Amino acid sequence: MIIDCHGHYTTTPPGVGAWRDAQVAALTGGPAAADGPFPVTDDEIRASIEGGQLRVQRERGIDVTLFSPRASWMGHHVGDATTSRDWTIRQNDLVKRVCDLYPANFVPVAQLPQSPGTSIDASVRELRRTVEELGFVAVNINPDPTGGYWTGPDLGDRYWWPLWEAMQELDVPGMLHVSQAENPFFQTTGSYYLSADTTFFVQALSTGFMKEQEDLRLVIPHGGGAIPFHWGRFQGMSVREGWDFEGATERIFFDTCVYHQPGIDLLLEVVPTERVLFGSEMLGAVRGDNPGTGSGWDDTGKYLEAADIPADARSRIYEANARAVYPRLASYLA
């Protein structure tokens, strides 16, 4: 079985974007966006999925995708806590509809109604609602909801503790994934995503906060940003800085969203097998085919097939690791 741990609903029907546009326009005096769910029909959802993610799943032999709202659209920096709550609830409910329409193919993962400078409690409430009431199996956490100004509490701050505690109680892992860069210094899916991935790993390493959260499991997307490429740098720095490299990061997992063979080979060489999760982020920031190979850039299964690793390691990366990291997946895979 092949489980893709990293997929977003990037192909939403037009009613979703129209609702969001209205919500944003209301922030500067426009009429309020409509009450109730997004004006989107099941047929529109089917059309948006069957020609996109579902088609690619079938082409590539992916059995199931952990499916969350489009990351770059979370936009936690937009508006205030109410803005973020109203948007997030609808986005999560929409993902739930997709997963209910295709229960064998997509398993729901939530975004949170984070808003810079506000309490984490609203996020804990939405986490509980999505997991306990809607059957979500994991959550995306944005550790920089400022959109690239990086001025909130770091991951070692007690600000995050209620969220860590709820995640452990509910037995769900979190993927650390930022959203759109509001700061124009960054390009969202390139420099911002990869800088964020790198930064959050270093925060976990330097603060050691996960040692106090004994069952917390975190996933860093995009192969961990710069981390595996600089594995030796961080091992060496840890000695000098007194960081516990192994202990502080042993429950951090890396997906395989690295879109060329040498990158995947390096990832598999330096990161312990049990901490690698198959992911492709399709349909994501990188679409289309590599003219050098004729395959999709994000067809990460091809790189995994070509990698010089034992078959049982490949199988763990495809399935067993995801089952261990996302225990609530089991009920969907029965």
Residue 220 has what DSSP assignment?
E
Burial class (CB in 10 A: 0-12, 13-18, 19+), 255: buried
Name the residue among 173, 186, 170, 165 with its Cα closest to residue 72.
Answer: 186
Task: Based on the residue annotation, tell me whether 281 is a catalytic residue of this protein.
Answer: yes
Tell me: does residue 297 bind a copy of itself (CB under 8 A).
yes
Contacting residue, 18, 26, 237, 324, with a copy of itself by CB under 8 A: 237
> What Cα–Cα distance (Å) separates residue 205 from each residue in 118, 199, 235?
26, 10, 10
Question: Residues 250, 274, 281, 305: which is the catalytic one?
Answer: 281
- Told to check if 195 binds a copy of itself by CB under 8 A, we report yes
Q: Is 236 in the site for a copy of itself (CB under 8 A)?
A: yes
Q: Does 117 bind a copy of itself (CB under 8 A)?
A: no
Q: Does 245 bind a copy of itself (CB under 8 A)?
A: no
What is the distance between the alpha carbons of residues 76 and 88, in angstroms, rounded to a whole number?
Answer: 9
Q: Within the chain, where are the H helices?
A: 14-26, 42-50, 53-60, 81-101, 121-128, 161-170, 193-207, 231-241, 245-249, 261-270, 300-306, 311-315, 321-325, 330-333
- Return the structure tokens found at 262: 């040498």
d(CA 227, CA 174): 18
User: Comparing C-alpha atoms, which of 291, 267, 50, 284 is closest to residue 189?
Assistant: 284
185 vs 311 by CB, closer to a copy of itself: 185
In the complex, minimum distance from the CB of residue 329 to a copy of itself, in angstroms, rounded to a whole number = 27
Bridge partners (DSSP) listed for residue 109: 138
Q: Is the Cβ–Cβ distance between 223 and 254 less than 8 Å?
A: yes
Size of the site for a copy of itself (CB under 8 A): 58
246 binds a copy of itself (CB under 8 A): no
Of the pair 94, 304, the CB lying nearest a copy of itself is at: 304
For a copy of itself, what does the binding mask look like between residues 254 and 293, x meaning CB under 8 A? ----xxxxxx-xx--xx--------------xxxx-x---
Which region among 36-44, 124-132, 147-155, 322-330 touches a copy of itself (by CB under 8 A)? Answer: 147-155
Between CA 278 and CA 243 the distance in angstroms is: 28
Contact between 203 and a copy of itself (CB under 8 A)? yes
Q: Name residue 296's amino acid.
A: G
Within 154-193, the residues that bind a copy of itself by CB under 8 A are: 154, 183-187, 189-191
Nearer to a copy of itself, 174 or 224 (CB): 224
**Binding flag, residue 24, a copy of itself (CB under 8 A):** no
Interacting residues toward a copy of itself by CB under 8 A: 144, 148-152, 154, 183-187, 189-191, 194-195, 197-199, 201-203, 205-206, 222-223, 225-226, 228-237, 239-240, 258-263, 265-266, 269-270, 285-288, 290, 297-298
